Amino acid sequence: MAIEQNVEIDLQKVESIIGCVFTDKMHLLTAITHRSYLNENRDAKQDHNERLEFLGDAVLELVITDFLFNKYPDKPEGELTAVRAALVNTVSLADASTKLGVNDYLLMSKGEAKDTGRARQYILANVFEALIGALYMDKGYETAKEFIGAHLFEKTDTIVQNRLWQDPKSRFQELAQEHVSVTPSYETLAQVGPDHDRVFTVGVFLKDEKVAEGNGRAKQEAEQAAAEAALAAKNW
């Protein structure tokens, strides 16, 4: 299937940053195409990337599971699952996409292109999985595995050493007990807004010391935010 020349030039740049020349360029073009792009470009020949994302997610999980299973032969299943989740969460995958430079070549609607923050993180994470799916389709499992390894395996030691596989509350509690032999407590300091749009402010304490505060639309979310802030405040 023919691809317009201006798109093909961009694809060559994407191939360069990925480190792979595709046999079927349509696999790569589809991987970088967001659903919204097709709404504004009815004559586009490619599909959006959601099916490739679905495939890439499965390949990613297998590769990471195999890697962690062999790297940490003594870790229990529960901890391996938590480390894997930290490696393949939205923030981690979006970060990998950003470092690749994929963000500059995404095909999406003008409205979606203006989105930043969490919305863009989801798009970038999904594109990373779609690229894995495209590599798997075009070159096979080993090439997809090499791509994943090059961009995610190096994060593992940092995640394990800094206990980033734990949620902030669990991590702060464990470190508080280790450093000062105290179990943190949480107190709701304020709640504002109507029931359907309420924001909670929660403080985290070590005995009588208020270490930090956090906000969230649910108490649990605010507690996690407070614990994250407390880890930074204590430099733990």
The neighbouring-strand residues paired with 190 are: 201
Taking CB atoms within 8 Å and a gap of at least 24, the contacts of 87-93 are 87/152, 87/155, 87/156, 87/159, 88/60, 88/61, 88/64, 88/152, 90/121, 90/122, 90/125, 91/121, 91/125, 92/125, 92/152, 92/155, 93/124, 93/125, 93/128, 93/129
Say how many Å lie between the first and final Cα of the chain, rounded.
Answer: 55
What amino acid occupies position 148? Answer: I
From 53, 57, 223, 228, the catalytic residue: 57
The neighbouring-strand residues paired with 203 are: 187, 213
> Does the annotation mark 57 as catalytic?
yes
Residue carrying the six token digits 């962690």: 68
- Of 192, 185, 232, 184, which Cα lies nearest the Cα of 215? 192
* DSSP-assigned letters across all residues of 2-59: ---HHHHHHHHHHHHHHT---SSHHHHHHHTB-HHHHHH-TT--SPPSHHHHHHHHHH
Q: How is the beta sheet containing 185-192 ordered, strand by strand?
A: 185-192, 199-206, 209-216
> Does the annotation mark 129 as catalytic?
yes
From 53, 112, 129, 223, the catalytic residue: 129
Q: What are the catalytic residues? A: 57, 129
